[in-house]
Structure 1
Amino acid sequence: MNGFEYETKDKEGWETFYIVEEMKINYKQWNETLYLEVKYIDADGNHSEKEFFFKEDIKLKIY
């Protein structure tokens, strides 16, 4: 895996994130809402995190 992309219903097109060393995906729950928590190290060496809530219309592509 060297990246992931996502698109939401309120945003046009894909936004791409590049992973350098590692990526972890966790399923979590908050107030009965399931979501994905993606933690990764980006191309600049920064530890970053994105959350994807299932109540939204989200497409997530990992490659």
Structure 2
Amino acid sequence: MNLAFRIESLTRQTRQPILVSAAFLDGWAEGQEWFEPCGAYEVKGHPDKVEVFGLRQGQA
């Protein structure tokens, strides 16, 4: 499975309806205003934890 699918499965655990990876936000300065950190999680198929960010309330 790909990383996007694995991140989507974390929405239940984080209670965030929209999650993105740190790699998605890398190089997008404005993105830091739209998303807040939710922590780093173990994701099946990836050796390192993946840092995820949730859409801030009121941004959708």
With normalisation by structure 1, the TM-score equals: 0.30
Higher helix residue share: 2
Higher strand residue share: 1
With normalisation by structure 2, the TM-score equals: 0.31
